[in-house]
Amino acid sequence: DYKSALPLSQISPAHSSVAQNNIFYNDAKWSSMWYIHCNDDVNNCQSDMNIMGAWKRGYTGKDVVVTILDDGIERNHPDLLQNYDPQASFDVNSNDADPMPRYDATNENKHGTRCAGEVAASANNTHCIVGIAYNARIGGVRMLDGDVTDMVEARSLSLNPQHIDIYSASWGPDDDGKTVDGPASLARQAFENGIRSGRKGRGSIFVWASGNGGRSRDHCSCDGYTNSIYTISISSTAESGRKPWYLEECSSTLTTTYSSGENYDRKIITTDLRHRCTDSHTGTSASAPMAAAIIALALEANPLLTWRDVQHIIVKTSRAGHLSAPDWKTNAAGYNVSHLYGFGLMDAEAMVKEAEQWKQVPSQHICMESADRQFRSIRPEHVLRSVYKATGCADNPNSHVIYLEHVVVRITIAHSRRGDLSINLTSPSGTKSQLLANRLFDHSMEGFKNWEFMTTHCWGEKASGDWVLEIYDSPSQLRSQKLPGKLKEWSLVLYGTSVHPYSSMHSSLHAEKQPRFTDMLQPVEEEFTEEYNGPCHAECNENGCEGPGPQHCNNCLHYFFKFKNNTRMCVSECPSGFFRDDRKRCKKCSSTCETCVGSRSDQCITCRSGFHFIEDSNTCVVNCGDGFYLDRDLHMCRRCLENCKKCTSSSICTECKPGMSLQGNKCQMTCDPGTYYNGHRRTCEPCHRACATCAGTGVEACTKCAEGYLLEDWRCVSSCSHGTYLLEQPLDNGQVQRSCKKCDNSCFECLGPGERNCSSCNSGYNLEAGACMVSTICKDANEESWAEGSFCVLVKKNNLCQRRVLQQLCCRTCSQKG
Amino acid sequence: PPCKARIYTNHWAVRIPGGPEVAEHIAQKYGYRNMGQIGDLRDHYHFYHSRTIKRSTLSSRGRHSFISMEPKVEWIEQQVVKRRIKR
Residues B37-66 pLDDT 10s: 999 899 999 999 988 878 888 877 777 788
Alpha-carbon gap: B63 to the closest alpha carbon of chain A (Å):
23
Given B39, B83, B84, which is nearest A158 (Cβ)?
B39
CA nearest to A189 within chain B: B41
Cα–Cα dist A16/A680, whole Å = 104
List beta partners, residue A573: none
Contact A210, A234 (CB under 8 A): yes
- In the residue annotation, A275 being an active-site residue is answered as no
- In the residue annotation, A672 being an active-site residue is answered as no
A573: Cα within 13 Å, side-chain hemisphere = 9
CA distances from A335 to A26, A46, A342, A457 (A): 39, 21, 10, 8
The residues, ordered by sequence, that sit 6+ positions from A427 with a Cβ below 8 Å of its Cβ are A331, A332, A404, A407, A433, A457, A458, A461, A465, A467
**A687: how many CB neighbours lie within 10 A of its CB?**
26
Select the residue from A186, A197, A444 to test the B interface by mutation, using most B Cβ atoms within 10 A. Answer: A186
Interface of B with A (CB under 8 A): 2, 7, 9, 11, 13, 35, 38-41, 44, 46, 55, 77, 79-87
Q: Which helix (H) or strand (E) holds A720?
A: none
Q: What is the pLDDT of residue A16?
A: 30
Q: What is the pLDDT of residue A817?
A: 60
Can you tell me the ipTM of this complex? 0.91
Q: What is the pLDDT of residue A695?
A: 81
Q: What is the pLDDT of residue A520?
A: 33
Cα–Cα dist A416/A485, whole Å = 7
- Please check whether residue A187 touches B, CB under 8 A: no
- Please check whether residue A366 touches B, CB under 8 A: no
Given A160, A171, A186, which is nearest B84 (Cβ)?
A171
DSSP character for A708? Answer: T
Helix crossing, A348-356 with A284-301: angle to 10°? 30
Q: What is the pLDDT of residue A682?
A: 72
Structural Rg of chain B based on CA atoms: 14
Instruction: Exactly one of A27, A37, A47, A70 is catalytic; name it.
Output: A70
Chain A positions in Cβ-Cβ contact with residue B38 (cut-off 8 Å): 151, 154-155, 158, 186
Cite the DSSP H helix spans in A487-559: none
Q: What is the pLDDT of residue A514?
A: 36
The residues, ordered by sequence, that sit 6+ positions from A505 with a Cβ below 8 Å of its Cβ are A357, A358, A359, A517
> What residue ranges in B5-74 does DSSP mark as E strands?
8-15, 33-37, 44-48, 55-56
Q: What is the pLDDT of residue B48?
A: 93
8 Å CB contact of B2 and A174: yes
- Please check whether residue A175 touches B, CB under 8 A: yes
Q: What is the pLDDT of residue A776?
A: 55
Q: Which helix (H) or strand (E) holds A373?
A: none
Q: What is the pLDDT of residue A1?
A: 32
Cα–Cα dist A776/A754, whole Å = 23
Chain A positions in Cβ-Cβ contact with residue B44 (cut-off 8 Å): 154, 186, 189
8 Å CB contact of B86 and A150: no
Given B40, B82, B87, which is nearest A148 (Cβ)?
B82
- pLDDT under 50: residue ranges of chain A: 1-21, 505-530, 780-782
- In the residue annotation, A70 being an active-site residue is answered as yes
Given B2, B39, B77, which is nearest A190 (Cβ)?
B39
Chain A positions in Cβ-Cβ contact with residue B7 (cut-off 8 Å): 147
Q: What is the pLDDT of residue A775?
A: 65
Cα–Cα dist A462/A402, whole Å = 5
Instruction: Exactly one of A111, A281, A415, A457 is catalytic; name it.
Output: A111
